[in-house]
């Protein structure tokens, strides 16, 4: 999932904000609020860290099978793009456009 995210999020002109799984839930909540995150992609192993995020959460059970919430999320995206995939995206013309927001 993380490899997908590092490619797909910038491709749709959004900003990825990776979060350290060693942080506490309050620290993660602060990052999500401060970064104005709109969506959380999380492995089921770490779901407890974002349980009260207050924003949509896409959970991955890492099965790769139909019924996995992450796979369903990808399927909805393919339908939304009318299966155009990468070819349906406009390239970012601004070389100074944001790509990632990292907290330390």
Q: What is the pLDDT of residue 15?
A: 93
Neighbours of 14 (CB within 10 A): 14
Q: pLDDT by residue (tens digit) across 52-64?
A: 889 998 888 877 7
DSSP 56-102: -EEEE-S--STT-HHHHHHHHHHHHTTT-GGGGSPPP--TT---B--
Q: Which of 46-50, 68-72, 77-81, 82-86 has the highest mean pLDDT?
A: 46-50
* pLDDT > 90: percent of the chain: 40
Q: What is the pLDDT of residue 86?
A: 67
């Amino acid at each position: 999932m993380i490899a997908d995210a590092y490619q797909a999020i910038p491709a749709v002109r959004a900003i990825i904000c990776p979060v350290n799984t060693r942080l506490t839930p309050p620290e993660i909540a602060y990052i999500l609020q401060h970064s104005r995150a709109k969506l959380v992609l999380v492995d089921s192993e770490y779901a407890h860290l974002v349980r009260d995020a207050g924003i949509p959460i896409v959970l991955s059970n890492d099965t790769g099978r139909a019924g996995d919430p992450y796979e369903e999320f990808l399927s909805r995206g393919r339908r939304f793009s009318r299966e155009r995939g990468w070819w349906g995206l406009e390239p970012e013309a601004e070389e100074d456009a944001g790509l990632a927001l990292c907290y330390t």
